[in-house]
Chain A
Amino acid sequence: MSDWAVETRDLVKTFGDFVAVDHVSLEVSRGEIFGFLGPNGAGKSTTIRILCGLITPTSGTAMVNGIDVAKDPERVRRNLGYMSQRFSLYDDLTVEQNIDFFAGLYGVPKLRREERKDYVLEMARLAERRSALTGSLSGGWKQRLALGCAILHDPPILFLDEPTSGVDPIVRGVFWDLIRGLAKTGHTIFVSTHYMDEAEYCNRLALMHRGKVIALGAPAELRHQASAHSLLRLDSTKPLETMRALEDVPGVVDVAVFGGGLHVTVDDAEATAERIRTKLGAAAIEIHRLEKILPSLEDVFVSMIEGEERRVA
């Protein structure tokens, strides 16, 4: 048996001329929370669907829990739980009926069924609403129920495709507590998201862009990987004029508006900061704050994707 929970080799999926997944090779360890990031249409969902056996790849191999997805999809499905991007439980069934249905599909033994049901109801905090129609639940409840239904058979690996899209931050926080709890008990979590704060919760991340994995590593590693340039945070009185003034300062690579201030990507932090001070002083722009900051994951990914775009072009 393979050591990896999930392993792909040169996975390719094309739809006509469109390459949705372009030679993706990944390894995910057991018990890891593996984050899958990237803009919409980057190929995250397609990759997850291949791993769940919902789509047949054009070429390459995908192994889940040591089982080749192409060779024995049914055994793979017994080993995974899947939560699709779109809510996909039955709105016209009660909470309990949905749970019973999926417990039946996953073949949870009769003896364990009540115990698993109680666990899921407890985890999703739905015990009191077990007879409520699923359609009447709000987003957060539905999401937790969907997660619950995906883990009824206690699968070693969970695939969550943007599980928290469209719910408020507090609900997202509760949801991530559940995910971290599951990882602590040895479950492997393969989760896609486009929220950067969620990416910080992951043990490792893969950044996908146009079907390719363009970066792979722990969040901290990725931050350092991207630090060929340094990042300066600059707050000033006139942000727009500041931007214009910075254009011809040597050492400035890029300027972006970030919140109330600017993020300035530079080559040599110390020297360039000095040049910026001089230049803005001459232009009579007052600087409130100018300091070197650690790039956020978002900065890292934006610069990586831009770098990739430049490379391709």
Chain B
Amino acid sequence: MSHRRIRAVFIKELHHITRDSRSLALALAMPVMMLLLYGYALSLDVDHIPTLIYDQDGTSASRDLVRQFRGSRFFDIRGFASGYEKIEHDINFSRVLMGIVIPRNFGHDLESGHGAEVQLLVDGSDSNTSSIAIGYAESIVKMYSGAVRVRNVAPPPPPAVEARMRVWYNSSLESKNYVVPGLIAVILMILAGQLTSLTIAREWEMGTMEQLLSTPLRPAEMLIGKMSAYFVVGVVDSLIALVVAVTVFAVPFRGNIVLLAISTCLFLFGVLCWGIFISAGSRTQVEAYQMGMLTTFLPGFLMSGFVFSIDTMPKVIQVISVIVPARYFVAILKSLFLKGVGLGAIWDQMVFLVIFGAFVFWQAARRLKRQKVA
């Protein structure tokens, strides 16, 4: 192993990277664009649910209930309907997601202590959002009914068991706090795989591989040299992504910055080697690009557990996800960002990243060794 040859390859690759300013700009802008795009679009928080009220009662009691909805940030009262047709129409045209119908005798029933009813009409075509909306509406109605009962009748009998909930680590339950750290892992996986996936195929396409193979350059030296150059880009990308996460999305970072740096480097190393492995198996850049996308994008998004919980997936996919490095990096990032845990809680994930990196490095070097002109 000659460090002189590694250095030569490293410097040459840096020249390529800086010469192609458009690709470089893209590589640096990518994490920002993807974070902004996915960070905002992948918000799983449901609030400002567009809602229509059909108040048949028109008493002070019904107006009181409406006021409860109006005061909640989860609902956005878009107006009042004077009949079911209007609600149906607006739901059909996706103008509102929910219709609240307060029946004629609402106030009277409440007054008399018979128990009043409120009808909720929900657009179930978006099942996730609507079930969350129902939950919110129920809790508002329940709170309101509790208040009424206290006012009117006797104190309610205490429930036999009451769940007292406290949410740790992301106490405001804001989805961005858990989406964004995971997203960093996914973005770095796609980006790093992308960076190196073209690098060997390009040498073949340009005809320069033949020249390289006629020199004393060894496969492992080529691999380390190329990988190091793109490692620099990957580190810059990681820094950009982290800064955007902490500043733009205001995701709290509670963990150890050194652990973050080490695990990011381990992850980058593995994925960059993966890109070279892919590239060494392709003779054209198009082929390498497609293989790179296929093997980073899909597993990164679907099998990393950054949004879609792996535990609830079919067994087969769970098994496959074991070899997806993003899965471990997502877990590390979430732990470091939100929980602020130490090495004790993430060392096993880091060990996997080491194993993955070493294995892929070995395989990529083997593939490079087999490169022959014909």
Contacts and interface: CB of A to CB of B under 8 A. Distances in A.
Interface stretch (A47-55, A229-237, A292-300): A47-55
A105 B7 CA distance: 9
A187 B15 CA distance: 32
B24 to A, nearest CB: 12
A105 B209 CA distance: 13
A15 B374 contact: yes
Interface in B1-49: 2, 4-5, 7-9, 11-12, 15-16, 19-20
Interface residues of A, number: 31
A175 interface: no
Interface string B132-147: 0000000000000000
B210 A54 contact: yes
A7 B215 CA distance: 20
Contacts of A92: 15-16, 19-20
Contact of A97 (B12, B20, B216, B374): B12
B19 A106 contact: no
Contacts of A77: 214-216
Given A82-B214, A88-B206, A88-B207, A49 B373 contact: yes
Nearest to A161: B210
Contacts of B8: 100-105
Interface string A63-79: 00000000000100110
A52 B372 CA distance: 11
B213 A104 contact: no
A55 B372 contact: yes
Given A77-B214, A101-B11, A106-B215, A55 B16 contact: no
Interface in A283-303: none
A202 interface: no
Contact of B4 (A49, A78, A89, A107): A107
A90 B208 CA distance: 7
Interface of B: 2, 4-5, 7-9, 11-12, 15-16, 19-20, 206-208, 210-218, 372-374
Interface of A: 15, 46, 49, 52-56, 74, 77-78, 80, 82, 84, 86-93, 97, 100-107
Given A77-B214, A92-B15, A105-B216, 13 more contacts: A49-B373, A54-B372, A56-B372, A80-B214, A82-B214, A88-B210, A89-B208, A92-B19, A93-B16, A105-B8, A105-B215, A106-B216, A107-B4
